[in-house]
Amino acid sequence: MESGMARANMSGIPDHQKDPTDDPLKGFSDSELLELLRKMLLFRRFEEKAEESYAIGKIGGFCHLHIGQEGSAAGSITPLRSDDYLVTAYREHTQALARGVDPSAVMAELYGKASGSSSGKGGSMHIFAVDQAFMGGHGIVGGQVPLAAGMGWAIKYRGEDRVAMCFMGEAAVNQGAFHEALNMAAIWQLPVIFVVENNEYGMGTAFGRVSATKVEERSAAYQIPASVVNGQEVLETYRHFERLVKEVREGGGPRFVEVRTYRFRGHSMSDPVSGTYRSKAEVSDQTETNDPIKILRDRLFAADVLSQEALEIMDQEVRSQVDEAVEFADAAPVPDSSELYTNVYSQINEHGRLFFDGRDR
Ligand SMILES: Cc1ncc(C[n+]2csc(CCOP(=O)(O)OP(=O)(O)O)c2C)c(N)n1
């Protein structure tokens, strides 16, 4: 890892909007700080391995990496309770890990294996772990947003004190489904936190080129309180979400958060890192100065919470965990061909005819 650096406020968030903490480490125990670092390292190493496995043909189909956005996943999901719903888009490997889904089950899913979290039928974009309230992995931009409203409604109907958290990229805020869902969430005051991970680009399109307003202004029409947080600062992100989760759990109604972040890789594994829509210099500048892992690492070095040696041990442990996930995925069986006919709406009956809900079609 490279050495530390002093960092200016690169998030673009005016200082007056930031959480008013003098010392970002304040209130965190050493073990909480190290755990957040370990999580982000796991996410990074997992994604690097997925990248490698994709390059050698072990993973097929689409594969969108979250490298550069680890602070967003660790900072927002860690404050949730394990029974709170999580629903998200297709850049979700690390969000599943943050929820506690076994890295081996996630890697096996990427490999399309029967031991994967969706039995190898979902792949990279459709990781599900319903027993852990991880409600997927959705490939249609904005498609998960109405589902989150449904989860919020179910929570309210059953009188539970759970929260539903819904992630989306900034491009999703131009979708009609986004507006319908926010409107319903506001009318019924549903316990949903809508999280826009703004990594600046929807595929090759800078957000500013396709939006008449800023992301943070998008919930104003529905009077849902909005806030902005710098996702590259995991501690700030954690504190921000800790407060929001509490407010929503206590019946405060929906919230809307823009997490400012940056994607260090291409849109997906089939796209170049920079392409024609952003310069190599921009990407290398962000990688050097706005890496959530380096930022926390340097804070922990400076506060004597972490030594270089302890970091190397932690990194080695995380690498071993990821290697085990790859070995598991490699050795796992592919789904049986009979599985082609399960988990679909229509099924084939014993006469070879399609049926649905027990009726012939
Ligand atoms: C309804 C719909 N339209 C278009 C696409 C094609 N598409 C896939 S990803 C993407 C960009 C989405 O960007 P963003 O929501 O910002 O998420 P990010 O990839 O940056 O995480 C588009 C347009 C799609 N999947 N669904």
Cβ of 68 less than 6 Å from ligand 1 = no
Instruction: Give the predicted TM-score (pTM) of the model.
Output: 0.92
Cβ of 310 less than 6 Å from ligand 1 = no
Given CA atoms 226, 231, 236, 241 in this order, what sign does their dihedral have? positive
Q: Atom 8 of ligand 1 has which residue's CA nearest to it?
A: 141
Model pLDDT for residues 294-303, shown as the tens digit of each residue: 999 999 999 9
- Are 183 and 214 in contact by the 8 Å Cβ rule? The answer is no
* Domain chopping of the chain, boundaries: 24-360
Of 107, 97, 104, 101, the residue nearest 52 (C-alpha):
107
Give domain 24-360's CATH number out of 3.90.1580.10, 3.40.50.970, 3.90.1150.10, 3.40.30.10.
3.40.50.970
Model pLDDT for residues 214-224, shown as the tens digit of each residue: 999 999 999 99
Model pLDDT for residues 141-163, shown as the tens digit of each residue: 999 999 999 999 999 999 999 99
- Give the integer Cα–Cα distance in Å for 310 and 241: 28
Helical H segments across 56-161, by residue range: 70-77, 93-99, 103-110, 144-158
Place of tokens 């849109």: 267
- Give the integer Cα–Cα distance in Å for 192 and 149: 7
Place of tokens 């710098």: 230
Burial (CB count within 10 angstroms: exposed 0-12, middle 13-18, buried 19+), residue 10: middle
Model pLDDT for residues 78-115, shown as the tens digit of each residue: 999 999 999 999 999 999 999 999 999 999 999 999 99
Q: Atom 3 of ligand 1 has which residue's CA nearest to it?
A: 141
